[in-house]
């Protein structure tokens, strides 16, 4: 039996929601057609996708693609669960209609990830255990609501510029949340950028909690400059902090082998924000796909399936 993972992609390779000038003129249909041609089975969502569930399903069906998931901007670090339940309804119904199993939860309360003039040192932080516990409690309640109401699992995206950025932050988050209610979206590039230069060790530590995976690679010299010179997250993106699997330093053979041994059965999503004028969309999306596809095929060959 083959390893039951599917390879998808985020449209950020073609068009960027945080920096609309990057790929702003690219049609959604161009991204979907090229992604399908390359071999991807599905797409995560972006601002150019239809906002209603049936229209989204029809658009993806035109290209024979699945809805992988979609980013959801949450504010539980500073707001109530009741408010979050109200805010999420339309988005979760859209994902539910399109048979998505997880939602990408990005904590946006206090975040500086979308502020091009804010250095990373200004990111928000929890300063005591009581704040972490209260946050975990709210996430648990919200995650249970998503499962009971929509059949969707909360996949928490640790992210540069937000409350949960570093390996220590991820450790804290996992400690204060219930594994049955809150899953981890493991993002290889954000893990490295956040301080886990041994990405595989961090993944191994929390692999039992992983419900979704973003595969991006990194350019260490650019990240070092971003940290040293006080760049914002978006300034780093513009200068090439991230790239696709196969074009950086992360050991994806080890990453995927760790996921395989742990029994991970979800999506592997290429998600590497770059300027498509510098890193042409089709070429880099192809590189990411071929890198992951080759490793998955080698794992299946080695295990005799």
**What sign does the dihedral 257-102-198-174 (CA atoms) show?**
negative
Instruction: Summarize the confidence of residues 76-82 as an average pLDDT.
Output: 98
pLDDT of residue 180: 98
Chain segment 155-182, per-residue pLDDT in tens: 999 999 999 999 999 999 999 999 999 9
Using alpha carbons only, how large is the chain's radius of gyration in Å?
18
Nearest to 55 by CA among 90, 104, 21, 15: 90
By the 8 A CB rule, do 155 and 185 touch? yes
What's the pLDDT band for 197 if we cut at 50, 70, 90?
confident
Instruction: Summarize the confidence of residues 12-38 as an average pLDDT.
Output: 88
Chain segment 239-279, per-residue pLDDT in tens: 999 999 999 999 999 999 999 999 999 999 999 988 888 99
Concatenate the DSSP letters of all residues of 137-153 into one string.
Answer: HHHHHHHHHHHHHHS-E
pLDDT of residue 21: 73
Q: What is the CATH number of the domain that holds 151?
A: 3.20.20.150
pLDDT of residue 305: 57
Instruction: Summarize the confidence of residues 63-92 as an average pLDDT.
Output: 98
- Containing domain of residue 119, as a range? 6-302
Instruction: Summarize the confidence of residues 41-69 as an average pLDDT.
Output: 97
Chain segment 81-120, per-residue pLDDT in tens: 999 999 999 999 999 999 999 999 999 999 988 898 898 8
Structural domain count, the chain: 1
pLDDT exceeds cutoff 80 at 188: yes
Nearest to 24 by CA among 41, 42, 48, 2: 48
Instruction: Summarize the confidence of residues 205-212 as an average pLDDT.
Output: 98
Instruction: Summarize the confidence of residues 2-24 as an average pLDDT.
Output: 86
pLDDT exceeds cutoff 60 at 217: yes
Look at residue 75 and tell me if it is in a domain.
yes
Chain segment 144-162, per-residue pLDDT in tens: 999 999 999 999 999 999 9
Strand partners, 217: 243
Mean pLDDT estimate for the chain: 95
Look at residue 19 and tell me if it is in a domain.
yes
Chain segment 138-147, per-residue pLDDT in tens: 999 999 999 9
pLDDT of residue 1: 63
Could you tell me the two tokens for 250? 């992360």
pLDDT of residue 120: 87
Q: What percent of the chain has pLDDT over 90?
A: 87
Look at residue 31 and tell me if it is in a domain.
yes
Look at residue 1 and tell me if it is in a domain.
no
What is d(CA 13, CA 116) in angstroms, rounded to the nearest whole number?
A: 19
């Amino acid at each position: 039996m083959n390893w039951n993972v599917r390879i998808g992609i985020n449209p950020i390779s073609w068009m960027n929601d945080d920096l609309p000038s990057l790929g702003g003129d690219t049609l959604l249909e161009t991204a979907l057609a090229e992604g399908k041609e390359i071999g991807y089975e599905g797409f995560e969502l972006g601002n150019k996708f239809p906002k209603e569930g049936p229209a989204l399903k029809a658009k993806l069906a035109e290209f024979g693609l699945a809805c992988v998931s979609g980013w959801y901007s949450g504010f539980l670090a500073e707001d109530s669960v009741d408010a979050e339940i109200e805010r999420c309804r339309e988005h979760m119904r859209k994902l539910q209609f399109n048979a998505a199993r997880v939602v990408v939860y990005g904590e946006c309360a206090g975040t500086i990830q979308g502020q091009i003039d804010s250095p990373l040192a200004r990111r928000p932080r929890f300063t005591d255990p009581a704040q972490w516990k209260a946050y975990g409690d709210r996430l648990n309640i919200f995650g249970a609501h998503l499962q009971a109401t929509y059949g969707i699992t909360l996949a928490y995206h640790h992210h540069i510029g937000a409350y949960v950025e570093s390996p220590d932050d991820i450790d804290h988050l996992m400690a204060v949340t219930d594994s049955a209610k809150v899953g981890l979206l493991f993002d290889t590039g954000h893990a490295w950028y956040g301080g886990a230069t041994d990405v595989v060790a961090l993944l191994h530590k929390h692999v039992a909690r992983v419900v979704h995976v973003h595969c991006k690679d990194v350019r260490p010299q650019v990240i070092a400059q971003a940290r040293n010179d006080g760049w914002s997250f978006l300034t780093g993106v513009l200068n090439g902090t991230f790239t696709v699997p196969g074009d950086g330093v992360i050991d994806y053979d080890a990453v995927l082998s760790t996921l395989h041994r742990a029994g991970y059965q979800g999506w592997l999503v290429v998600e590497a924000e770059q300027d498509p004028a510098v890193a042409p969309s089709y070429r880099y999306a192809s590189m990411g796909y071929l890198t992951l596809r080759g490793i998955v095929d080698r794992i299946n060959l080695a295990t005799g399936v």
